[in-house]
Amino acid sequence: MNESAHSSSSEEYDFDLIVIGAGPAGENAADYAVKHGLRVAIVESELVGGECSYWACMPSKALLRSGQALNAARRLPGAKQAITSPINVEQVLARRDSFAGDWDDSGQTGWLDSAGIELIRGRGELVGAHLVQVGQAQYSALAVVLATGSVPALPNIEGLVQAKPWGTREATAAKEIPARLIIIGAGVAGTELAFAFSSLGSQVTMLSRGSLVSREEPFVGKYLAKALEVAGVQFLQGVTPDRVDRDAEGVVSVRLGDGRQIFADQVLVSTGRRANTANLGLAALNLDPTAKLSVDDTMLVEGFDWLYAVGDVNSRAALTHQGKYQARIAGEAIAARRNGEQLSERQWGSHVASADHVAVPRVIFSDPQVAAVGMTEAEARAKKLNIRCVEYELGAVAGASLHADGYQGHAKLVVEQNRQVVIGATFVGQDVAELLHAATIAIVGEVAMDRLWHAVPAYPTISEIWLRLLEEYHFATPNVASGS
Ligand SMILES: Cc1cc2nc3c(=O)[nH]c(=O)nc-3n(C[C@H](O)[C@H](O)[C@H](O)COP(=O)(O)OP(=O)(O)OC[C@H]3O[C@@H](n4cnc5c(N)ncnc54)[C@H](O)[C@@H]3O)c2cc1C
Ligand SMILES: NC(=O)c1ccc[n+]([C@@H]2O[C@H](COP(=O)([O-])OP(=O)(O)OC[C@H]3O[C@@H](n4cnc5c(N)ncnc54)[C@H](O)[C@@H]3O)[C@@H](O)[C@H]2O)c1
């Protein structure tokens, strides 16, 4: 523990809590602390609302949604014939602009005001224990939360920087749709943006080192690769770009390792992100700014009793909802410590982010959607857990076949056999995102398979997949069903 005692009187500080970074995670940490009566300030160097609101979750989903609604209609006789013109790009971009608040954060600053959180505009930097510098001003606080998010990790490809590529910020805020778009990086962002831009008229070429979204169950990448092909996206797997150029007319060329050259009007790099820990003053606290910040389950940074880190910056799970969850936990833990209250730190207690370890929900808003929570089979096997897996075709469920003609999809549960509880679930198919929360509840609640048997899915909904998976578990020979 650091020399500063968190439980010391907060009166000697300017604030009980200073949060650095007003993205979704920072806002929630501030909000929860204020709700417990703390004096809170939040420091923001760009727009209140963070990456998610203006350049990530919201605008990317707005770019995707209209094309997916059209695709849904195309799968339904009667609706299909009613489609009489192509997608209206201008309207899609206008709706995206409105979801990004026209890149104006006055709505969010109004909320901070009403919540009683003081906004300090500028770049925050730690300059000592409990001390935050913003411009010329210095503020002290009993506790400080780092919520500075993440920044793109640019691969080291010759000529890439000079070619001025798009990152996800430029893509999600695009005012025009490039006729030809090359995407380097086949993770979640690259995949979603490939679907979005191809639905808006771009001829998209996707360059992938390995398989698509390789951290998920292997069948996920297969479904997505097929869907990208149907969407007209050229998906090149097992390729590594070794040079990028842009000529005087703005045309981009990407040279692949095997010597092939691909030309486009724009190139988007979506090769992952890293924690935004640079220039935060971590070195002043003897922390290595290039190393991952290690936090405990109350989000305290290892070795400190006043410094916390929530959201992308702690590299636990770079997703908005998980960062907000960590922030709610941290806000409550900070308030409890400040108020001298006992913390509830047993697993699933109100002051620990237990779900980070076992139940992180993930949705890829592609078409088909991918929805997964908890462990994949490969992760469970790597941990040497005693598991059994059951799988089922989603298209064979009545509700799915009604939802769309030719519905294609797949579902899989990973069941831990000692406790007979679900520890992982993956669904691929149109509109499966809303199936996910049932799986999250089953995992967090550790609901036994024989109790899940009594959770009857309504007929004819896509949720009937749960019944089919349970039947597979109930009747099928274990070693056949698990494929192990
Ligand atoms: C294209 C794309 C799409 C995505 N879609 C989804 C999705 O659909 N669902 C999902 O769950 N996640 C999605 N994500 C991930 C999601 O955007 C992040 O997990 C989320 O934004 C992290 O929230 P945060 O508050 O930790 O950080 P951020 O949202 O990055 O906010 C950090 C804030 O801190 C500020 N800041 C940084 N340094 C300082 C400083 N020194 N002083 C003051 N302020 C500072 C920044 O300006 C920023 O406002 C997507 C990401 C990308 C790139
Ligand atoms: N729906 C969602 O929740 C959503 C959507 C988009 C992004 N995000 C989050 O935003 C973050 C960033 O997304 P992302 O897709 O950029 O990251 P990612 O880590 O999901 O994928 C990065 C991809 O780039 C590839 N890559 C890395 N270096 C490369 C190189 N030199 N050449 C070629 N390929 C390379 C990787 O193999 C990987 O496939 C992630 O944390 C992601 O979870 C979430």
Q: What's the CATH code of the domain at 372?
A: 3.30.390.30
Residue range 362-389, pLDDT digits in tens: 999 999 999 999 999 999 999 999 999 9
Q: How many CB atoms lie within 10 A of CB 44?
A: 28
Question: Residue 75 falls within a domain, yes or no?
Answer: no
Q: What whole-number distance in Å separates Cα of residue 76 and Cα of residue 125?
A: 55
CATH number of 294's domain? 3.50.50.60
Question: Residue 69 falls within a domain, yes or no?
Answer: no
Question: Residue 85 falls within a domain, yes or no?
Answer: no
Residue 241 CA, closest ligand 2 atom number: 32
Q: What whole-number distance in Å separates Cα of residue 426 and Cα of residue 11?
A: 50
Q: Of the residues 223, 239, 271, which one is the last residue of a structural domain?
A: 271
Q: What whole-number distance in Å separates Cα of residue 175 and Cα of residue 63?
A: 11
Question: Residue 86 falls within a domain, yes or no?
Answer: no
The closest alpha carbon to 352, from 343, 361, 360, belongs to: 343
Residue 3 has pLDDT above 70, yes or no: no
State the distance from the centre of ligand 1 to the C-alpha of 323, rounded, in angstroms.
9
Instruction: Confirm if 223 and 303 have CB atoms less than 8 A apart.
Output: no
| Residue listed under structure tokens 């936090």 | 295
Residue range 300-330, pLDDT digits in tens: 999 999 999 999 999 999 999 999 999 999 9
- 50 plus 115 within the same structural domain: yes
Residue 89 has pLDDT above 70, yes or no: yes
- What integer is the mean pLDDT of 203-221? 94
State the distance from the centre of ligand 1 to the C-alpha of 312, rounded, in angstroms.
7
- 139 plus 278 within the same structural domain: yes
pLDDT band at 478, cuts 50/70/90? Answer: low
pLDDT band at 211, cuts 50/70/90? Answer: confident
Which spans in 147-306 are helix H? 168-172, 188-199, 218-230
- 344 plus 378 within the same structural domain: no
Residue range 242-285, pLDDT digits in tens: 999 999 999 999 999 999 999 999 999 999 999 999 999 999 99
ipTM of the complex: 0.98
Exposed e or buried b per residue across 52-62, where buried means at least 16 C-beta atoms within 10 angstroms of its C-beta: bbbbbbbbbbb
- 117 plus 18 within the same structural domain: yes
Instruction: Confirm if 354 and 329 have CB atoms less than 8 A apart.
Output: no
Q: What whole-number distance in Å separates Cα of residue 323 and Cα of residue 86?
A: 38
Pocket of ligand 2 (CB under 6 A): 155, 184-190, 192, 209-210, 240, 270-273, 318-319, 363-365
Query: From atom 29 of ligand 2, which residue's Cα is the shortest distance away?
Result: 271
Counting ligands in written order, the one closest to the CA of 147 is: 1
Residue range 426-476, pLDDT digits in tens: 999 999 999 999 999 999 999 999 999 999 999 999 999 999 999 999 997
pTM of the model: 0.96
Q: Best substitution site from 55, 57, 123, 150 to test ligand 1's pocket, by max atoms within 8 Å of Cβ? A: 57
- 127 plus 230 within the same structural domain: no
- 233 plus 172 within the same structural domain: yes
Range of the domain at 137: 4-54+100-152+274-355
Residue 55 CA, closest ligand 1 atom number: 1
Question: Residue 231 falls within a domain, yes or no?
Answer: yes
State the distance from the centre of ligand 1 to the C-alpha of 150, rounded, in angstroms.
6
Residue 481 has pLDDT above 50, yes or no: no
- 383 plus 443 within the same structural domain: yes
- 147 plus 9 within the same structural domain: yes
* CA torsion angle 240 251 164 210 (round to 10): -20
Q: Of the residues 290, 324, 355, which one is the last residue of a structural domain?
A: 355
> The tokens of 196 are what?
């979005």
- 114 plus 245 within the same structural domain: no
- 309 plus 337 within the same structural domain: yes
- What integer is the mean pLDDT of 159-174? 98
End-to-end Cα distance, the chain: 46
- 127 plus 175 within the same structural domain: no
- Tell me how many domains the chain contains: 3
Question: Residue 71 falls within a domain, yes or no?
Answer: no
Question: Residue 24 falls within a domain, yes or no?
Answer: yes
Question: Residue 92 falls within a domain, yes or no?
Answer: no
- 141 plus 11 within the same structural domain: yes
Q: Of the residues 237, 271, 305, which one is the last residue of a structural domain?
A: 271
State the distance from the centre of ligand 2 to the C-alpha of 189, rounded, in angstroms.
6
